[in-house]
Amino acid sequence: MTKVVLIDMGGGNIGSVRYALERLGADAELSADPATIQSAERVILPGVGAAAPAMARLRGLGLVDTIRALRQPLLGICLGMQLLFESSEEGDVECLGLLPGRIVKLQPRQGVRVPHMGWNGLDRRRSSPLLNGIADGDHAYFVHSYAAPVGPHTLAACTHGDTFSAVVGDGRRYGAQFHPERSSAVGARLLSNFLREVPA
């Protein structure tokens, strides 16, 4: 059984992410202890809320350097994915800097509401073990107002007025802007791929 640690960010989606992992046979432990996080085979950074308070929490827990130093596969979910980048317009905050780029606010326009809430299709841009079995056009569930622009790290994109990164990957660092724990078969497949397909 794969030992997975969920970094305790205090977000409301932690329980559902943990349950989704346990359904896949993972031993999912919730922890803010650096030694526990470092000993995991896989690490997940979940998150809901705003970037500045989330980064303040990570700093307060002494976890910023711990996360930056991880060598095992790391998956950021929703806000957790955004925190992997260098900075965010949300609160004009410095983030973890594990991926290049700045998180920007989605812009509302005619027929486009922000926050982006609901099911939307994925546009695959690059092949990756994280996306095995997930087809171009498959739908996932999103809830967010900020997003990462499309770049060389983009594995799949999504369009809601603006086109943005829906799934990212660079080395052993991955992120999903959507909520896999709420995305039915597509979300379960992405989590299963992170547990079993992504190289350690």
For the question of residue 158 being annotated catalytic, the response is no
- Read off the amino acid at residue 72: Q
Structural domain harbouring 121: 3-196
Give per-residue pLDDT as tens, 49-84.
899 999 999 999 999 999 999 999 999 999 999 999
For the question of residue 78 being annotated catalytic, the response is yes
Give per-residue pLDDT as tens, 125-170.
999 999 999 999 999 999 999 999 999 999 999 999 999 999 999 9
Catalytic residue selected from 116, 144, 153, 181? 181
What pLDDT score does 59 carry?
Answer: 96
- Tell me how far apart the alpha carbons of residues 160 and 30 are, in angstroms, rounded to a whole number: 33
CATH number at residue 192: 3.40.50.880
Catalytic residue selected from 116, 144, 160, 179? 179
Tokens 């794969």, located at residue: 2
What pLDDT score does 11 carry?
Answer: 64
What contacts 35, CB < 8 A, 6 or more positions away? none
The helix (run of H) or strand (run of E) holding residue 27 is: strand 27-31
* Tally of domains within the chain: 1
Q: How far is CA 20 from the centre of its chain?
A: 15
What pLDDT score does 46 carry?
Answer: 93
Give per-residue pLDDT as tens, 4-52.
999 998 766 788 899 999 999 998 999 999 999 999 999 999 988 899 9
φ, ψ dihedrals at 119, nearest 5°: -85, 140
* Average pLDDT score over residue span 167-189: 97
For the question of residue 144 being annotated catalytic, the response is no
Least confident range of 2-6, 10-14, 89-93, 111-115: 10-14
Nearest residue to 172 (alpha-carbon basis) of 95, 99, 71? 71
**pTM assigned to the model:** 0.96
DSSP 171: T
φ, ψ dihedrals at 42, nearest 5°: -140, 145
Catalytic residue selected from 78, 95, 153, 158? 78
Q: Is 133 helix (H, G, I), strand (E, B) or coil?
A: coil
